[in-house]
Amino acid sequence: MTLRTPVKFRSKLPDVGTTIFTVIGQLSAQHNAINLSQGAPNFPCDPQLVAGVTRAMQDNHNQYAPMTGLHALKERIVQKISDLYHTDYDVDNEILITASASEGLYSAISGLVHPGDEVIYFEPSFDSYAPIVRLQGATPVAIKLTVPDFAVNWDEVRAAITPRTRMIIINTPHNPSGQVFSRADLEQLAAITRNTDIVILSDEVYEHVVFDGEPHHGMATHPQLAERSVIISSFGKTYHVTGWRVGYCVAPAELMEEICKVHQFLMFSADTPMQYAFADHMRDPQSWLSLSAFYQRKRDLLHTLLAESPFRLLPSAGSFFMLADYSHFSEESDSEMVKRLITDYGVATIPLSAFYTDGTDNKLIRLSFAKDEATLRAGAQALCRVKPR
């Protein structure tokens, strides 16, 4: 029996329903499909991390952490950013440990965006950006990345800026396309935002997963952009523990003050034992410096395994993902293709249209290679059997 409420109310997100990720997950479970859809590793994390959390719990670190995070962990983050990107942040006023990168995104947008503001972001995009903006009474302004290279058309960005533009949301390395910002992109962004009050919210959760020997061109690498940027990163993505839900946020003190006002009432603090474990684990820089090579091997393996498939693979310069084009052998919508792959071939992927608010269909599907070798081989074998329709 379903309980019915007599309360009349107006939804803040009337057009938001069950996400495609949930739909695909349920369909995949019904067909026991091989999971190349979810951007979460299916292999274990470093046992030392689990031991670190256990040790922290046994040492009775089970109560609230400080609101902005464990000081030792924030010190490690400051040192890492200084070593990698040559920008120095104040450990007390410019670093915030969040209960997931998603919470960091919400706290930043909620704290800095007001009703009537406009927020520019780029599609295809992570699905939470636009709804969070709308919840603030602000207007999300989507600019489509060019296809198939998924680059930013900076002339379109210039044309989209109005006196109401408060924020530009960046995601590099990019989910779902696997593309990354270049130094030239940073210069364009700096030129566009110079002498404005526009805040940059930079989602950099895959900052340590950049391939082919290229550096990560994040906002902290550019002094002018660092001064107006809120940068979000993720321990879950870095350390293969997406279920632990711990991330962090860095920003100039004036911006961070507003973000913390939201964070303290939204979560107050992130999980304490995990913070102790991460602080200890970050003593070894190889724990993040090794990630690019680790995931590049997985990217290259999946690319090789799919050489005989009917799909055309687009280049992946970073992240856990690559896109596959099927337009040359099928007129199916990407959602239809994904469902057929699950029901007929037992492999789960994600339709790229799920990352567009208007459902743009470029006949592309997203594959995740954040999987163990057996899963990659089994998934590729299934995709190599796909027949045109």
Q: Mean per-residue pLDDT for 307-325?
A: 97
pLDDT digits (tens, 9 = 90+) for 155-174: 999 999 999 999 999 999 99
pLDDT digits (tens, 9 = 90+) for 205-234: 999 999 999 999 999 999 999 999 999 999
| Whether the Cβ atoms of residue 197 and residue 166 lie closer than 8 Å to each other | yes
Integer Cα distance of 355 and 353 in angstroms = 5
Percent of all residues in the chain with a pLDDT value above 70, rounded to a whole number: 100
Chain mean pLDDT for the chain: 96
Q: Does domain 47-287 bear CATH number 3.40.640.10? A: yes
Half-sphere exposure of 183 (CA within 13 A, CB side): 5
pLDDT of residue 382 exceeding 90? yes
Q: Is the dihedral of CA 52, 54, 55, 56 positive or negative?
A: positive
For residue 303, pLDDT over 90 is answered with yes
Contacts of 236 (CB under 8 A, 6+ apart): 100, 101, 242, 243, 244, 245, 246, 247
Task: Dump pLDDT digits (tens) for 66-95.
Answer: 999 999 999 999 999 999 999 999 999 999
Q: Which amino acid is at 104?
A: G
251-266 pLDDT per residue, tens: 999 999 999 999 999 9
pLDDT at position 253 is: 98
- Model pLDDT, residue 1: 74
Classify 201 as helix, strand or coil. Answer: strand
Per domain, the residue ranges of the chain are 20-44+292-384, 47-287
Q: Return phi, psi of residue 224, to 5°.
A: -65, -40
pTM given for the model: 0.95
**DSSP codes, 207-243:** TT-B-TTPPP--GGGSHHHHTTEEEEEEHHHHHT-GG
For domain 20-44+292-384, give the CATH number.
3.90.1150.10
Q: Give dist(CA 228, CA 87) in Å, integer.
A: 13
Secondary structure class of 89 (helix, strand, coil):
coil
Q: Cβ–Cβ contacts within 10 Å for residue 51, how many?
A: 12
Distance separating alpha carbons of residues 295 and 280, to the nearest angstrom: 23
pLDDT confidence band for 316 (50 / 70 / 90)? very high
Cα separation, 259 vs 247, in Å, equals: 14
Question: Rounded mean pLDDT of 271-281?
Answer: 98
- In 3D space, the residue among 127, 80, 128 whose CA is nearest the CA of residue 366 turns out to be 127
C-alpha of 232 from chain center: 9
Band the pLDDT of 15: cuts 50, 70, 90: confident
Distance CA 262, CA 266 (A): 6
**Residue 121: φ, ψ to 5°:** -145, 170
Count how many Cα atoms sit within 13 Å of the Cα of residue 274 in the half-sphere of its side chain.
20
What is 174-190 written as a DSSP string?
A: PTTT-----HHHHHHHH
303: left (phi over 0), alpha (psi -120 to 50) or beta: alpha
Task: Return the closest-CA partner of residue 231 out of 245, 258, 250, 209.
Answer: 250
Tokens of 287: 């724990």
Do 178 and 319 form a contact (C-beta atoms < 8 A)?
A: yes
Return the sign of the alpha-carbon dihedral for residues 315, 365, 179, 281. negative
CA gap 98, 236 in Å, rounded: 12
**Residue 21 has what pLDDT?**
76
Asked which of 15-19, 285-289, 333-337 is least confident by mean pLDDT, the reply is 15-19
